[in-house]
Structure 1
Amino acid sequence: MQANQSAAKTQSQPARTALYDLHVELGARLVSFAGFTMPLNYPAGILTEHHHTRSQASLFDVSHMGRFRIQGTDAMLALESVCPADLDALAPDRLRYSVLTNDAGGVIDDVIIRRAGSDFELIANAANRATDEQWLDERIGEQCRISVDEHFALLALQGPTAAQVLRDLNPGVDELVFMQAAHLPLAHIDCLVTRAGYTGEDGFEISVPIAAADKLARRLLADSTVQPAGLGARDSLRLEAGLSLHGQELGPTISPVEAGLGWTIAQTRRADGARAGGFPGSERILRELKQGPARRRRGLLPEGRAPVRAGTPLVDEHGTVIGHVSSGGHSPTLERPIGLGFIETQALDSNTPVFAEIRGRRVAIALTRPPFIPHRYQHSHS
């Protein structure tokens, strides 16, 4: 079945990805997410899918993500005018995690940027596809050609055995390191393979023509170490990895510095660089880099066994609100509740005790710096 991704923008019914029939066949629990019908989990359940990703490899359908092509003689400078990355230093087929910022210094979206010759490719969050397209068109549409690529499905193979699984299909994957891409045939299908993902594990994201997506997915699932996984496990994995989620740790009022993403502001774009600023909200963001933000993201370790959920207020010993929980849940790996949240810098500097206030009851919170589970990205050739 061909995916009609553009239908997500124009119809009230969720669009279906190229793997919809396979999800149904595998017994997935399907939900509406960001305009698409997506698998939340399969019969084995979220916990099993989570543990399997940490121990072997899981296959995720991430075809709902947005994919933009930026073309033009001034594409690099145009793209740098809407994000704080140094794209001149980005080598061909290398990836860069960055953010699209607004004029207030908040984050419109976090994106993966790939240099494709003289062009650039952006992978954006599914829920922000329309917003990103409009923002890019308004800001750089006169300088560049911006196109939405809807001819490919995107599969994520994540986990410690992922490299071996793909190695059996093409040994060329061993040449890739974290945040690098290459055009490689897999099962006689021409694919764009990137060594990246959002689980904290070593893994790959595979761009495959829609017509061949089902065939490749079945080939990968035929490996005894690979199982399907859905949105539920993807979220618990990214939370353990301490990775920000747009709409929770990132948003139009949250600066990248507040969110712990100050490292996405390239040195060449900072106040002392020859190419400083030049991106939306740079005044606020550069000021926060120098002086510090009013609040900061921290990892949360609640006392007891009950998770603290997003939106829960964080208070001091006097009951004064000093922050909030942005993401919270149970860590299957640590077998305890974990979370992410924002806390006023003044409270952090004074080592103020922190509590989550849940229906009039206070739960003590220990603060930590994420990730909760160390990342296992492959940064060098094995």
Structure 2
Amino acid sequence: MHALPPHVRNEFMAERQDTDLLRTPLYDQHVAAKARLVDFAGYALPVQYEGIIAEHKWTRQSAGLFDVSHMGPAFVALGSPTGDADQDHHAISTLVEPLVCGDIAGLKPGQVRYTLLLDETGGILDDLMIARPPAGDASGMLYIVVNAATKDADFERIGKALGAAAKLERADDQALIALQGPSAAEVIADLMPQAAQLSFMNHALVSFDGEVIRIARSGYTGEDGFEMLVPASAAGALWDQLAADERVKPVGLGARDSLRLEAGLPLYGHDLDATTSPIEAGLGFAVSKRRREAADFPGAERILRERTEGPERVRIGLHIEGAPAREGAEILDPEGNKIGVVTSGGFSPSLGRAIALGFVPEHMSDPGTALQVLLRGRVQPATVVETPFVPHRYVRNSKTKPQGPAA
């Protein structure tokens, strides 16, 4: 999902005063905290508060609080639901599945699935989350979150697929708040006990300040954490209450990007685009088994062929000696021949070294392979490593089922 890439972050370190930028429901909180604001995807968003490295390390050791309201939350719902939850879910899934490679019909109540929006050749148009409502929520509805930079095109594509049978309702007027880190569950448990019982990639509805909040155990940092869709009327109060906890500090887009890079998570528009297939990107898991067997998703011929025969190129992780290699840096073989390109790169605060993601031919992708990167005319040694660079710490084993609306 979308964050601020390092090379863009460096270009926008100065505070922006543009009056035409969109403001999230949490804009006043960022100003009060003296955040450094940048123009990102047309929004005035905080790139940092006290410093990117400090915020990154705090998230890894405690809990970071993020405003990700620039993302694209929305709901798709049948125009005439029957009231039979399973029947209605099958009907809405049938409309959405031709666009993606995930098993949406197989979602259980409250379950969230990471999937890919594909074009007819199997190229990735976006990566997104699709969730089935918890038991007791609306019948025949899906909750969707897409990337900020692609949301208009995504919603147009989805809307056309729905036709007259269903409608898409954007939730741009609400706030998306993420709380990430090893202390996140303890913090949430004090405020929303229901939500703390969720397992990874499940969501529930809970009450806060007289409003219903949709909260998922998910995130974009590799840490355990939660993402909350909050009505604007309650967003400031929730942010303030979370930020007042001594275990929590607000974190900007700069650290969000370094965290997701360490976690080996691809960034759409950089590590993923319409020229990239799920297999090349290392996202074959997102092509669900039922969909593979039916070969009924966009670009199935190419994707299934690559899955069997192997793609020509693959996404890899690199440890780089010396200065970080940014997006666009050439990846070289030991003889100095160009074999690929860095798509995301930067300094890893957790590892104290330069790391990068990029694409190379499959035969050069084994961990331990010695390569090089070309940085400002200088060759630097690099080694292929497994990703994630820093282990994920998701909580997957909760036995508690997602719960419906709170009283």
If the length of structure 1 is used for normalisation, what is the TM-score?
0.92
Alignment-mate amino acid for residue 75 of structure 1: I
Contact 2:98 2:298 in 1 (8 A): yes
Of the structure 1 ranges 319-328 and 229-238, higher mean CA displacement relative to structure 2 is found in 319-328
2:196 aligned counterpart, secondary structure:
helix
> Which residue of the partner structure matches residue 311 of structure 2?
293
1:346-368 residue CA offsets vs partner (Å, 9 max, x unmatched): 33379864111123321111001
Of the structure 1 ranges 325-334 and 64-73, higher mean CA displacement relative to structure 2 is found in 64-73
Of the structure 1 ranges 95-104 and 110-119, higher mean CA displacement relative to structure 2 is found in 110-119
1:105 aligned counterpart, secondary structure:
coil
- Distance 1:12-1:129 versus aligned 2 partners, 3 A rule: farther
> Which residue of the partner structure matches residue 172 of structure 1?
194
Contact 1:196 1:205 in 2 (8 A): yes
Contact 1:187 1:219 in 2 (8 A): no
Of the structure 1 ranges 206-215 and 137-146, higher mean CA displacement relative to structure 2 is found in 137-146
> Which residue of the partner structure matches residue 405 of structure 2?
none
Distance 2:319 2:368 in 1: 15
Contact 2:99 2:117 in 1 (8 A): yes
- Distance 1:201-1:351 versus aligned 2 partners, 3 A rule: closer
2:276 to 254, 262, 273: 254
Shift of 1:141: 3.1
Residue correspondences, number: 366
1:10-43 residue CA offsets vs partner (Å, 9 max, x unmatched): x99221000101100100000010111100001x
1:327-363 residue CA offsets vs partner (Å, 9 max, x unmatched): 0000001111011110111333798641111233211
Say yes or no: does 1:84 pair with 2:101: yes
RMSD across aligned positions (CA): 1.8
Alignment-mate amino acid for residue 169 of structure 1: L
Distance 1:58 1:355 in 2: 34
> Which residue of the partner structure matches residue 29 of structure 1?
36
User: How much identity, in percent, do the aligned residues show?
Assistant: 44
Instruction: Please show how residues 302-321 of structure 1 align to structure 2 within 5 Å.
Output: 302-304=320-322, 306-321=323-338
Alignment-mate amino acid for residue 60 of structure 2: R
1:39-85 residue CA offsets vs partner (Å, 9 max, x unmatched): 0001x111110010011111100111101212225320111100011
Task: List runs of 5+ in structure 2 lacking aligned partners.
Answer: 1-17, 79-87, 134-138, 400-407
- Distance 1:374-1:322 versus aligned 2 partners, 3 A rule: same
> Which residue of the partner structure matches residue 137 of structure 1?
159
Distance 1:166 1:338 in 2: 32
Contact 2:316 2:365 in 1 (8 A): no
Of the structure 1 ranges 199-208 and 163-172, higher mean CA displacement relative to structure 2 is found in 163-172
Distance 1:292 1:213 in 2: 46
Shift of 1:317: 2.7
Shift of 1:187: 5.1
1:158 to 162, 165, 180: 180
Shift of 1:118: 2.0
1:164-206 residue CA offsets vs partner (Å, 9 max, x unmatched): 1111112222320101111112355421111111001111111
- Which protein, 1 or 2, shows the higher relative CO under an 8 Å CA cutoff with sep ≥ 6? 2
Distance 1:15 1:151 in 2: 11
